[in-house]
Structure 1
């Protein structure tokens, strides 16, 4: 399977354009027949198939165990459990009722992003010189290419958040200015026009921005929309503006360090460029930096449940698919990806890619369907392999530790005031591997009790 590149000549010349329009979503490989040999390079190994053929625990035992563990759970339980090797659904408890599964939506987002962008793609951020023949100061444009995990310092080859650094980009930009013979005063502007619009989602309440759950979505952000590294840090309102201000300062420092014959005018705020968008895309880059791979960013997004990264990656995917990189286009791409994975999309109705919206409607069996299909696709296997594990630096860091499930489960968490979920893969004590989704809805803000009930269910299943 491959994406058919239809780059425009403009984007081809500007080597820094990561997201040229006109590429279409290629179908992911269909799940293999139940009796087929494992696909090379997938999660479905010979051992997984052998455990499936052994058949223990069976569907009845899995269902009875889940029902007993969730008997006193708050709200209504929605459960789907599938055999990892075959994709066969073994447990169905209100599994076809569309509900708001919170951040478990990111499982579908991860599959769509990987299918559209490919796991090895890197996201580029670059600079160009706007109309070098114009009068006045030379204008350096910082162009956002869809990377939400820029660092403010030097590029860090060992990091995911901060792999591409603004200080490194500044040094390369100074080198580019010197090669072009630019001297005198230089000003910085920013081009965040890849996505367009104001970056807001009408399905998100204002307090989601105010509480730092997400920022308006721009194709340019440091550390997932934060000033500093760390998922516990507050987000900034204008991610592109903040990144541009840090780049401007880094450019001034780099010019001074290189003893370049340019004078970077440092302004309190970096304005949006007035340069024609087509001319910006057509201009040769002064300097550029590249992100961690899409697979690595997807793993970061799943592990830390990073809403900003999920939304930016989803807009990258929508743009590449020829859809509008806004909520409506993103949701079409996600639904289309599920459909191409041969998941029954009846009732699937999305409002965002992060799961923040209470208006999202996804069924438990759709979530397990995505995981089962991803397990059979070498292109999509990071969806399954990168799920958080108990005790690691992730949203499962303090959950399921010291239990029978600790070394047998990887799962994506999800939390809203009215619903809590856990969606992932699990190996039972008898060796059978399954994918599962457990969603409790109507919990009336009883988040702790709902999480505990789900964790007890997962432990009980792991002990079978």
Structure 2
């Protein structure tokens, strides 16, 4: 989510053409990872798990065959450091970049073509989600899913057991929410009714996660601002008051809100709801639903810079590695995963998985290194990072609705630049990639400190300049 504090093959990359209609039509090209066995998860995968007495199998995830020509990472002429430095000259002279660090890498060779203090640490803002994503893709089965259950207690009590799925929706399956294809409370309620169980009380169980609800360096006011909520393992619609609005304020009482949603779905909104319970071990499962696959959830988290979803994914990394499902456990697990991938984590200070904390620190070289590994295919597991990256002027946090790539100098990047963005306090960050005019893929990272609003356009112009590079 963007805002004043939100962090707002031979490898092959598929080139997808978009037609953008403005004053005139321009051809936009998108790049997607491609392997011999590559498939993309569709947003409509069934999320419902039948009651335990019924054997249910999730439908296969399929996608229509591509009708586009793949582009090799090493396509085009070999760029030179001198050529890249020259074309970036005007963009780098813009004072709106303020105090900045940055790096540009040739994806085909891994060679650094330009840099300025790339190992200096700064607030990464939402580009921190790239590190969370890399850890998730390398340690957690991308096809695995979160599970939410309802189990039977005594004397009409049912336990609503959270399993970390923040996308569970209180809306009907055919009503749009921020999270496409999310499971619903209505499905759970229908299964409870079908079981014939008597219900007189709902108790929520959030014990799947531990530790503090809010991370160090978070502002509690950001709950009302819509950037975050208390991290409880049971919630509906990311705890948004308006499930269809990405920027909606949050209730701040995730588990209670979820419990009340279940009561309404059961047809009795006056049912007693109690929080902070623990389901009895071995209790009979009355209902369960599963989230979209982790790979799909990651794409959703990256596209709109969803802080709550990113935190849930970071905790799943910790759980997979046997760590604590807390802010501390997640930060440690992500760091371990990066080190296992042979990334240099010197200078990395991580207290959350979203980058919202003002305590987070990282060098732009690390961020760009992760992006380079994904784009080049040098670490195949990381290719999934590319799927959810916003497209300049088209989608997510780089869309025109976010006032990105709207200036004359930035418009050449529309449809070509793909990047993860970040904003927190007076720091703007962007890490992504773009093909130059010769078809060579250039990976970049840019972090500006002490900025004001013009800094966003200045970063857009930087990326667009690389698109215009014929820098051999």
What is the TM-score when the length of structure 2 is the normalising length?
0.78
- Matching residue within 265, 272, 277 for 1:273: 277
Partner Cα distance (1:165, 1:42) in 2: 29
Task: Check whether the contact 2:311–2:354 (CA below 8 A) recurs between aligned residues.
Answer: yes
Distance apart, 1:320 and its partner CA: 2.0
Distance apart, 1:331 and its partner CA: 1.0
Tell me the secondary structure at the aligned position of residue 140 of structure 1. Answer: strand
Instruction: Identify the residue that residue 70 of structure 1 maps to in structure 2.
Output: 92
Task: Check whether the contact 2:223–2:249 (CA below 8 A) recurs between aligned residues.
Answer: no
Task: Check whether the contact 2:392–2:416 (CA below 8 A) recurs between aligned residues.
Answer: no
Deviates more, 1:287-296 or 1:398-407: 398-407
CA RMSD in angstroms comes to 2.6
Instruction: Identify the residue that residue 237 of structure 2 maps to in structure 1.
Output: 223
Structure 1: unaligned runs, 5 residues or longer: 1-28, 32-37, 254-263
Task: Check whether the contact 1:151–1:161 (CA below 8 A) recurs between aligned residues.
Answer: no
Task: Check whether the contact 1:161–1:223 (CA below 8 A) recurs between aligned residues.
Answer: no
Instruction: Identify the residue that residue 299 of structure 1 maps to in structure 2.
Output: 299
Task: Check whether the contact 2:224–2:251 (CA below 8 A) recurs between aligned residues.
Answer: no
Instruction: Identify the residue that residue 47 of structure 1 maps to in structure 2.
Output: 71
Partner Cα distance (1:164, 1:243) in 2: 13
Deviates more, 1:107-116 or 1:429-438: 107-116
Partner Cα distance (1:374, 1:157) in 2: 34
Map 1:370-381 → 2, pairs under 5 A: 370-375=370-375, 376=377, 377-381=379-383
Instruction: Identify the residue that residue 92 of structure 1 maps to in structure 2.
Output: 115
Change (3 A) 1:90 1:39: farther
Is residue 2:191 matched to residue 1:191? no
Distance apart, 1:63 and its partner CA: 2.8
Map 1:287-436 → 2, pairs under 5 A: 287-375=287-375, 376=377, 377-398=379-400, 399-400=404-405, 403-436=411-444
Q: Could you report, residue by residue, the CA deviation over 1:30-72 in whole angstroms, capped at 9, with x for unpaired residues?
A: x9xxxxxx964579x97334326x30x3222223333431223
What is the TM-score when the length of structure 1 is the normalising length?
0.80
Structure 2: unaligned runs, 5 residues or longer: 1-8, 12-33, 40-68
Instruction: Identify the residue that residue 257 of structure 2 maps to in structure 1.
Output: 242
Change (3 A) 1:101 1:66: farther
Task: Check whether the contact 2:226–2:240 (CA below 8 A) recurs between aligned residues.
Answer: no
Partner Cα distance (2:37, 2:366) in 1: 24
Change (3 A) 1:141 1:351: same
Instruction: Identify the residue that residue 64 of structure 2 maps to in structure 1.
Output: none
Instruction: Identify the residue that residue 446 of structure 2 maps to in structure 1.
Output: 438
Distance apart, 1:391 and its partner CA: 3.3
Distance apart, 1:154 and its partner CA: 3.1
Task: Check whether the contact 1:151–1:164 (CA below 8 A) recurs between aligned residues.
Answer: yes
Partner Cα distance (1:150, 1:156) in 2: 14
Aligned residues: 399
Partner Cα distance (2:133, 2:239) in 1: 19
Map 1:21-32 → 2, pairs under 5 A: none
Change (3 A) 1:73 1:224: farther
